[in-house]
């Protein structure tokens, strides 16, 4: 009996000791909790008072950062209405950024259609919205027309013709261009036209004129565009003609006497006609290519061309005839040019040794690709 009472007393003492330890631990935890709550309140106070550095920047600086977040103007090929590289994304971050983006005209001055991320029937309204947001900025517009609803957008560009700086229209008709070209385009410097339909000339006097464009310097045209439009040829410095016969290119080149860069993608010509001799005194870069399958129809074209300032030449081997080295030697001698780069294109090119021996100071290269491509970078 006595041993049992002693054990109970000892157990009670142990429990009292444990309770005391727990009370001390509880007191310590309460103190720590109070300190933690105090620190939390202090941190929250600091967070509430904290201003993110980007939000303290002047609106003008934020707007400039926004402009560097999208493809560099005048490029509009990768600037869709929606997506990661669209200025529309910047309007969805916060209210302040939305306001800044909508009040920054430079964000909205490059338009590319169609945008696969937008229903065709809504693209016209979006185009009008972007044109409105761009205000008085010069604009860059690229159309790759496929549907009627997209084609109908073109007339909406006409009121903004005075702001057009870069214009590319693919698969349009002459009728679609008349409204756009119906007045002066004082800022237009780069023009690409690929008109659809079979190769044809319109009746006399019905051509679309781009003569009232004093800053126009770069022009890229397919056959229908070249023969059915009027251009200020003499002021151009870069020209690409796509799908014309050599005899059709020559009169144009004679008038475009200030060209510095030129690409001619010739179509096969079954008619044997003399081609006018052309002298291009300022030409530095010339790329000759085939339009369609490779053929020999334009062999000898270099014989009617003189380019004293030429520095870079790209030419298919088939254009040079059976004595390619002699053809090039005659062309360079007649022109009096100092050719720095020469690229021979086409199939079955063979060795460059004969070219290296004749033109030791010229950088030589060759490529199997000789199909027609636009020479200047797309904007």
Phi, psi for 138 (deg, rounded to 5) = -60, 145
Domain boundaries, the chain: 48-231, 244-379
CA gap 216, 124 in Å, rounded: 27
pLDDT: is 115 or 135 the higher one?
135
- Per-residue confidence (pLDDT) for residue 259, from 0 to 100: 96
Q: What is the per-residue pLDDT across 45-71, written as a single tens digit (0 to 9) for each?
A: 877 776 677 777 889 999 999 998 888
Rounded to the nearest integer, the mean pLDDT of the chain is 83
- b (16+ CB within 10 A) / e for 234-252: eebbbbbbbbbbbebbbeb
- Per-residue confidence (pLDDT) for residue 378, from 0 to 100: 42
- Per-residue confidence (pLDDT) for residue 374, from 0 to 100: 46
Q: What is the per-residue pLDDT across 72-99, written as a single tens digit (0 to 9) for each?
A: 888 765 566 777 788 888 898 888 899 9
- What percent of the chain is predicted at pLDDT more than 70? 85
Cα angle 156, 159, 164; round to 5: 95
Q: What is the per-residue pLDDT across 153-208, written as a single tens digit (0 to 9) for each?
A: 777 888 999 999 999 988 777 777 888 888 999 999 999 998 876 555 555 557 89
- Per-residue confidence (pLDDT) for residue 379, from 0 to 100: 37
* Highest mean predicted confidence (pLDDT) among 30-39, 136-145, 212-221, 289-298: 212-221
- State the DSSP string of 90-138: GGGS-HHHHHHHHT-GGGGSEEEE--TTS-HHHHHHHHHHHHHHTTTS-
- Per-residue confidence (pLDDT) for residue 161, from 0 to 100: 92
- b (16+ CB within 10 A) / e for 66-104: beeebeebbbbeebbbeeeebbbbbbeeeeebeebbeeb
- Per-residue confidence (pLDDT) for residue 346, from 0 to 100: 78
Please give the C-alpha separations between residue 97 and each of 53, 68, 323, 344, in angstroms, as whole numbers.
14, 15, 65, 52
Q: Is the peptide bond before 114 cis (omega within 30 degrees of 0)?
A: yes
Q: What is the per-residue pLDDT across 313-364, written as a single tens digit (0 to 9) for each?
A: 998 888 888 888 888 999 999 999 999 999 988 776 677 888 888 888 999 8
For residue 335, the surrounding DSSP H or E stretch is: helix 324-335
- Per-residue confidence (pLDDT) for residue 131, from 0 to 100: 92
């Amino acid at each position: 009996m006595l041993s049992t009472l002693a054990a109970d007393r000892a157990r009670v003492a142990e429990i009292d000791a444990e309770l005391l330890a727990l009370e001390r631990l509880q007191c310590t935890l309460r103190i720590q909790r109070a300190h933690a709550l105090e620190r939390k309140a202090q941190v929250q106070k600091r967070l509430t008072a904290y201003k993110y550095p980007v939000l303290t920047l002047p609106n003008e600086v934020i707007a400039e950062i926004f402009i560097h977040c999208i493809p560099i103007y005048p490029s509009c090929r990768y600037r869709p209405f929606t997506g990661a590289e669209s200025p529309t994304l910047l309007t969805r971050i916060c209210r302040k950024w939305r306001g800044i983006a909508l009040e920054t005209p430079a964000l909205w001055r490059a338009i590319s259609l169609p945008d696969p991320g937008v229903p065709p029937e809504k693209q016209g309204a979006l185009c009008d919205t972007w044109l409105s947001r761009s205000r008085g900025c010069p604009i860059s517009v690229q159309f790759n027309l496929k549907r009627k609803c997209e084609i109908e957008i073109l007339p909406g560009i006409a009121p903004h013709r005075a702001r057009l700086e870069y214009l590319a229209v693919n698969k349009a008709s002459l009728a679609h261009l008349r409204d756009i070209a119906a007045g002066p385009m004082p800022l237009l410097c780069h023009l690409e036209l690929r008109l659809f339909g079979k190769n044809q000339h319109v009746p006399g006097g019905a051509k679309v004129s781009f003569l009232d464009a004093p800053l126009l310097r770069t022009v890229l045209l397919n056959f229908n565009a070249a023969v059915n439009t009027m251009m200020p040829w003499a002021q151009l410095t870069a020209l690409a003609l796509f799908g014309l016969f050599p005899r059709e290119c020559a009169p144009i080149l004679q008038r475009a006497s200030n060209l510095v860069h030129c690409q001619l993608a010739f179509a096969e010509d079954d008619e044997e006609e003399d081609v006018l001799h052309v002298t291009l005194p300022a030409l530095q870069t010339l790329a000759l290519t085939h339009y369609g399958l490779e053929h020999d129809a334009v062999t000898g074209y270099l014989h009617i061309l003189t380019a004293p300032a030429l520095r870079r030449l790209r030419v298919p081997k088939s254009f040079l005839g059976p004595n390619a080295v002699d053809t090039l030697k005659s062309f360079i001698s007649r022109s009096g040019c100092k050719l720095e780069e020469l690229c021979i294109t086409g199939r079955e090119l063979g060795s460059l040794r004969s070219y290296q021996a004749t033109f030791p100071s010229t950088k030589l290269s060759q490529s199997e690709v000789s199909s027609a491509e636009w020479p200047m970078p797309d904007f």
